[in-house]
Amino acid sequence: MGSGMEFFIALLGPVLGVMFVALLVASFIALYTLAAVYAERKVSAFIQDRVGPLETGPRGLLQTVADILKLLLKEDIVPRMADKPLWVVAPFVVFSAVFVGYAVMPFGPELVAANLNVGVLFITAFAAFEVAGLLLAGWGSNNKYALYGAVRSVAQVISYEIPAGLAVLSVVLLAGTLNLQEIVLQQGIGASGPRHLFGLPFLPDVSALGGLFTWNVLAYPHLLIAFAIYFIASLAEVNRAPFDIPEAESELVAGYHTEYGGIKFAFFYLAEYGGMLLVGLIGAVLFLGGWHSPLPNLGPVRLADWTTGPIWGIFWLLLKGFAAVFVHMWARWTLPRLRVDQLMYLCWKVLTPFAVAMVVVSAFWASWR
Amino acid sequence: MSTSPAAGAARWAASDPNRVRLKDLRTEEMVLNMGPQHPSTHGVLRLEVVTDGEIVIDVIPHLGYLHRCFEKHAESLTYPQVIPYVDRMDYLAAMNNELAWAVAVERLLGIEEDIHPRVQYIRVLMAELNRIASHLVSIGTFGQDAGAVTPFLWCFRDREHILNLFEWASGARLLYNYIWIGGLMHDLPVGFEERCREFVQYFRPRVRELNDLLTYNTIFVERTANVGVLPLEVAINYGCSGPMLRGSGLRWDLRRDDPYLVYPDLEFDVCVGRGEVGTPGDCWNRYKVRAEEIEQSLRIIEQCLDQLQRGVARRTADFDPQKLCPPRVVPPRGAEVYARFENPRGELGFYILSDGTEKPFRVKARSPSFSNLSVLPEISRGAMLADLIVILGSVDIVLGEVDR
Amino acid sequence: MATVYEIRDWIVERFGPEGVRELQLERVIPPALVIDPARLREICRFLRDDPRLYFDQLMCLSGVDYGPERDQVAVVYHLHSTVHDHQIALKVIVSRSENLEPVVNKLEYTRIGPDGEPIPNAEPPEAPEADFGEERVEYVTEYLPAVDTVSDIWRTAEWHEREAYDLVGIAFRGHPDLRRILTCDDWPGHPLRKDYVWPEYYHGIRVAY
């Protein structure tokens, strides 16, 4: 009896800790989504020569709060012909798949919820799992447009997993680890082992310099191409323009979430914006130094040392993530949408061969080093 | 009331049932009813699409959701009273419709030649301004069909200036009732010509900007070039007109080939699809014809403004725009006319039959969108679902005119 | 560019004097030829294919009802040649009450109440949840004046003939898909008939306003 109680208390600590972290991340995603939706409106308004939201709150800042309140207060309608269990569970599956990805994300030197040795594998696996939720939503809605959207998104996400995965692989080969935190640690001051500028041994070692020069894209210049491939593929994975064909408004009304409203629709929204940030963060971790500062140590001006730490780590990582989200928005409001066959062409005949080439280069580089 | 879903579905039978029956479909085919409520049908059109995955096997348009029986209305109204109803046909180009109706009735009365030149130039000016406004909507919505939202808002920003001008002249922003049989509602407000010139100066660079954003965008070209190719013989046989016909390569413009008002005195080019990108007759070329026509309309507007400010159509103190407006429009018994006009969407024809009373005996409106839409199934079989939307956008229908 | 007299003479030369019944010039723009309904298709094909004429575009096709007193309906074809740039109108006039042909295209809806009896088409019951009964759909036959189709000569005609059928109530023999186009498939009557009476209710919706 006593040992059972002790066991229970011993278990309670970590469980509470995990729940606390999870709650923290969940509320962060919700707040970030509020801000991102507002930002998207303002960015699109700027691009389209409009003013965007102005009326609700100062400079329209409360517009998204009002929207989320509206979504929360809406009647929860279940279509009569829907496959009810699938339909209900789908938005939560989609959101969880994105949410779980944040668990292995290193936000700072010691700040990582689950420091998994197979973090890269974990995060790509769950990113692909999101598509199961989209398929549930499309099939469960019992709506032809939703079904089209679901089938399109399955085709798209699974195809784009391949160039994205290969681009990630080309980093992993050079890093020699699947642990995201270790991949980040290699890209800044305090990296173990020498790190030459542009990866060329006759150039000076920059591991003490830190900053921009130790990031993967500069330490191994071919990773710049890998990063471009990864970025394009990640746009497609989170169904953003110009690859938003699963929810193509002018063709499929709203794609897989045509039938959703209220809080369930809000979860799709959370997943979409959470996904945008997540792929931006993964890109930052793998290619752009993660939570490391872009500022190098220049002689006595120890910029990199001064701007490294837990708070700085969160700041730099989120800054990189938000920059990626901004580029997503910029692309969305500038470019038309591709057609489904052109999307597949781009994936299989352009991105995948280049990604394979990047993996080969990485493999040779890693063995030669 | 029964609560089972199947019984609920059977309770209301559609009053416009699908033409394709489920038992006639092959296993892999599916019927997708696009519309009447759908973002890309530009109003309330229903397309019954038979699809095999993403491929369109057949399209059957179902019209009439906006049908008001204009022709029945016209039979119970006097000739001048029809003008507001004509406005509501192609509601994006109401000035052009009014012009068409007014000139058609004037031709019926035999007073077409007597119209004051200032009235004629003002009519042409208004029609060309409205052509620009209409093409802007067409281009904007076409971009949106292809997934580009920003050009749509840019186009609407510029269209707003034209609507402001119209509001100033006629008091209305969409449906003007400005061009009357035999004249106009008012003369232009003082200062209108100058403001109009300012608009032309403002607008010229905007057209170039739009071309940079959309026309030669690689993705846009990928999406629209060689999609929905309409061969010239098919276009003529289906009675396509306007940018649809010119996009297929026929240099045919009623302003030049069957001229009315002062168009013979004005200089402008007839734009045709040259296959600069893609093939003549595809969606891109139809789009390009519209984009180029905007610039030609600007040329016409400048020439009209020259005449209105300094030329034969100068503002004079004794000018009365309603001088020739007949108090009662009574064409002779048995007179009939088929008059056709170049609207933004093509040939708008009115067939009017008079029985010697104040009201027309029979009016038939041959609307360009109606004939242009009828070619849709022909050019979209075998395309992909996303192409169908782009093709429909490039046909540029206004449902108010298709359904009348 | 051929004048209307030349066009008439060429038709008469080919189809005999019965081919063209009348030439309408006075106050008719463009001039109209009233032609023999029985030879409509041949004449149209001739007009389209003859190199001197080459009327490749059917601009407009209008159905006209002259009312019960004159007891005639007409179909007017406005033709145009993109090559020669000339225009002509053709008219086909047929009787409104004789030689009618059966057309089985009209949908008719009846509402069957819970007791199995048809519910009269009138105002719906006040309560929104009240029982309207089931709707039954059936095709019925109507008898209409008929003209040959030209939809295989000019495809423009396909929809315009459907419109003339729908609004004026003229049947077109040999039309591939003669359904109503602008009004609903079960709309009662043909609105542009001069003796048309508006229905009081349509599917329980009041029509008069």
Q: Touching check for B9 and chain C: CB below 8 Å?
A: no
Give the pLDDT mean for A344-369: 87
CB contact under 8 A, C64 and B338: no
- Model pLDDT for residues B92-123, shown as the tens digit of each residue: 999 999 999 999 998 888 888 888 888 989 99
Q: Which residues contact A319 (CB under 8 A, 6 or more apart)?
A: none
Tell me which H or E stretch contains A122.
helix A119-141
- Model pLDDT for residues B339-358, shown as the tens digit of each residue: 999 999 989 999 999 888 88
- Model pLDDT for residues B229-278, shown as the tens digit of each residue: 899 889 998 989 889 999 888 888 888 888 888 888 888 888 888 878 88
Rounding to the nearest 10 degrees, give the CA dihedral for residues B227, B233, B236, B237: -110
Whether C185 shows a pLDDT value over 60: the answer reads: yes
**pLDDT tier at B126, thresholds 50, 70, 90:** very high
Residue A331: list chain B partners with CB under 8 A: none
CB atoms within 10 A of CB B86: 27
Contact C171, C144 (CB under 8 A): yes
- Model pLDDT for residues C34-43, shown as the tens digit of each residue: 888 888 888 8
DSSP letters spanning C80-146: E-TTT--EEEEEEEEESSSS-EEEEEEEEEEEE-TTSSEEPS-PPPSSTTS---EEEEEEEEEEE-E
Whether B3 shows a pLDDT value over 50: the answer reads: no
Indicate the domain borders of chain B.
Answer: 66-374
Tell me which H or E stretch contains A222.
none
- Model pLDDT for residues B156-184, shown as the tens digit of each residue: 989 999 999 999 998 888 899 899 888 88
Q: Tell me the CA distances in angstroms from B185 to A91, B161, B170, B179, B305, one per residue in order.
A: 58, 21, 8, 6, 19
Query: Does residue A168 lie in a domain region?
Result: yes
Give the pLDDT score at C120: 66
Q: Which residues pair with C140 in a beta bridge?
A: C106
Whether B132 shows a pLDDT value over 90: the answer reads: yes
Q: Rounded to whole angstroms, how far apart are CA atoms B250 and B228?
A: 17
Query: Does residue A40 lie in a domain region?
Result: no
Whether A348 shows a pLDDT value over 80: the answer reads: yes
CATH of B66-374, one of 2.60.40.10, 1.10.645.10, 3.40.50.2000, 1.10.10.10: 1.10.645.10
Query: Does residue A201 lie in a domain region?
Result: yes
Q: Tell me the CA distances in angstroms from A187 to A167, A229, A300, B255, one per residue in order.
A: 17, 20, 21, 69
- Report pTM: 0.86
Query: Does residue A64 lie in a domain region?
Result: no
* Number of domains, chain A: 1
Q: Which of C57, C181, C191 sits opposite B63 (nearest CB)?
A: C181
Q: Rounded to whole angstroms, how far apart are CA atoms B291 and B138?
A: 10
Q: Touching check for A330 and chain B: CB below 8 Å?
A: no
Contact B348, B341 (CB under 8 A): yes
- Model pLDDT for residues B34-60, shown as the tens digit of each residue: 878 888 777 788 888 999 888 998 899
Q: Rounded to whole angstroms, how far apart are CA atoms B297 and B242?
A: 14
Give the pLDDT score at B8: 40
| Chain C: touching chains (3 or more CB pairs < 8 Å) | B
Give the pLDDT score at B5: 39
**pLDDT tier at B1, thresholds 50, 70, 90:** very low
Chain B, residues 314-353, CB within 8 A of chain C, namely 332, 334-340, 347, 349, 351, 353
| Token pair listed for C42 | 């041949």
ipTM: 0.85
Q: Which of B72, B107, B239 sits opposite C58 (nearest CB)?
A: B239
Query: Does residue A42 lie in a domain region?
Result: no
Closest CA to A68 of A335, A269, A298: A269
Could you tell me the residue range of the domain that residue A92 belongs to? 74-368
